[in-house]
Amino acid sequence: MKIKILKLKDWLILSLMGLMGFSSCHSTKELTAPEPEPKPTPKPREEIRLMYGVPTMDYHISGRVKDAKGKPVEGVAINMLERGLNATADTIYGDQDNIRRYLKKNEVRTDSQGRFVVNAQDLPRESVRVLVRDTDGKANGEYKNQLLEVPVDNVDRSKANGMYQGSFIKVMEIELEER
């Protein structure tokens, strides 16, 4: 809460300074080059040039988690992982306190129908990793964790413009294996 209040105060001061015609930080407006034409069909990722800023894409990954009998599984934790994390289905390497906080902050959980929705914004990628974890012990059954590599294909680039590269929508059916 305290952080939220500080951030709100930050925004209010910046807004007021802006109204008075003051900038509060090093302005990069003067460094902005003329914006290139939008590229609705980008080149392969390794050829994408950084213009000014960082390219981003929206990721909407939704679906349903069920067991081998087709029964929905509630309470499963789903995360779309940062690219830099070194992870397996059961371990993410690094400071564990930090990892726990990160996972908690970014996870969604399946509802009683096993449904989930992940909304994220990240760099354009060729694939993303979705971590599926059973973290509620014996409640709802016990299942093995999974780390799924999801190809990023059929990106909607109808609204791509400059740094914004479009949106990726994926609907998944995830079947869990009992431990």
Partner 1 sequence: MSWKSGKGYRLRITGYVGEVFDFRQRVGLELQRGLRKNRERLHPLRSLFWECTLRCNMHCRHCGSDCRVQPEVPDMPAEDFLKAIDSLTPHIDPHKTFIIITGGEALLRNDLEVVGLELYRRGYPWGVVTNGYLLDARRLESLMEAGMHSITVSLDGLQDEHNWLRQHDGSFGKATEAIRLLAAQNEVLWDVVTCVNPHNIGQLAVFKDYLAGLGVRSWRLFSIFPMGRAAHDPDLQLTDKQYCGLLDFIMACRENDSRIHVSYACEGFLGDYEHKVRDHFFYCRSGVEVASIRCNGAISGCTSVRSNMDQGSIYTDDLWNVWQNRFQNMRDRSWAHKGQCKSCKVWRYCEGNGLHLYDDNGELLTCHYHRLTANQQ
Sole binder of partner 1 in the list 43, 84, 138, 153 (CB under 8 A): 84
Closer CB to partner 1, 51 or 108, in the complex? 51
**Residue 4 is a binding residue for partner 1 (CB under 8 A):** no
Closer CB to partner 1, 3 or 154, in the complex? 3
29 to 58: interface string for partner 1, x by CB under 8 A: -xxxxx-x------------xxxxxx-x--
DSSP string, 105-136: HH-EE--TTSEEEEEEEE---SEEEEEEE--S
**Strand pairing category for 56-66 and 164-175:** parallel
**Strand pairing category for 115-122 and 164-175:** unpaired
Closer CB to partner 1, 1 or 33, in the complex? 33
Distances (CA, A) of 7 to 11, 15, 19, 98, 149: 6, 12, 18, 22, 36
**Residue 10 is a binding residue for partner 1 (CB under 8 A):** yes
Q: By C-alpha distance, which of 165, 169, 173 is closest to 154?
A: 169
Sole binder of partner 1 in the list 42, 72, 85, 87 (CB under 8 A): 85
Q: By C-alpha distance, which of 176, 143, 150, 158 is closest to 61?
A: 150
Quote the least distance from Cβ 51 to partner 1, whole Å.
5
Sole binder of partner 1 in the list 38, 40, 70, 94 (CB under 8 A): 94
11 to 30: interface string for partner 1, x by CB under 8 A: --xx-xx--xxxxxxxxx-x
* 58: its two tokens: 């929206």
Quote the least distance from Cβ 90 to partner 1, whole Å.
18
